[in-house]
Structure 1
Amino acid sequence: MHYTVYCLDHDGMVERRLSHYDAHKAYLATAPVKMVMSGPLLAADEETMIGSFFLYEADDIGQVVRFNANDPFNEAGIWKSVDIRPFLKRVDNR
């Protein structure tokens, strides 16, 4: 099953986000679930990072919840909200 993880930052987190980026990137490399895609969410200016998006493939949502909870961005208090949901992929044009 696929799962989306949609995280929105607290206001003013760009510098904190950048200071934790290397730890976040290293942590993602240890994922016990398959990372299909990920990247920062952007503000309307298409430059300012305001959150994170992940698409995982995993056996169950619990694996994704546990992995996301220990992400350095989450532990650093960058994310204001985290929404994890099952996703039924019907089209993939990659």
Structure 2
Amino acid sequence: MHFTVYCLDHEGMIDKRREHYEAHKAYLATSPIATVISGPLLGEDGETMIGSFFLYEGDDLDAVRLFNRDDPFNKAGIWRSVEIRPFLKRVDNR
């Protein structure tokens, strides 16, 4: 099964995001869940990072929630909201 994780930052988190980026990146490398796609969400200017998006493949929604809970960005209070949802992939044109 796939899971989407959609995280939006609090306002003014650019510097804090950069400060915690290496820890965030290292943490993602330890994921017990297969990461299909991940990266920053961007503002309408196409450049300003405003959040994070992940598409995971796994069997357990609770495992995704627990992994996200301990992400350094989450622990640092960068994200103002996090939505985690099961996702049914119907088309993949890669």
Q: Which runs of 5+ in 1 are unaligned?
A: none
The alignment's C-alpha RMSD in Å is: 0.4
Q: Which residue of 1 aligns with 2:77?
A: 77
Q: Which residue of 1 aligns with 2:16?
A: 16
TM-score w.r.t. length of structure 1: 0.99
Q: Which residue of 2 aligns with 1:5?
A: 5
Give the Cα separation in 1 of the matches to 2:58 and 2:17.
Answer: 26
Structure 2 counterpart of 1:31, one-letter code? S
Alignment of 1:1-94 (within 5 A): 1-94=1-94
- Give SS of 1:54's match: strand
Per-residue CA distance 1:17-58 (angstroms, 9 max, x = gap): 011000000000000000001000000000000000000011
Work out the number of aligned pairs and report it: 94
Query: Percent sequence identity over matched residues?
Result: 71
Q: Which runs of 5+ in 2 are unaligned?
A: none
Structure 2 counterpart of 1:5, one-letter code? V
Segments ≥4 residues shifted beyond 2 Å: none
TM-score w.r.t. length of structure 2: 0.99
Give the Cα separation in 2 of the matches to 1:75 and 1:59.
Answer: 24
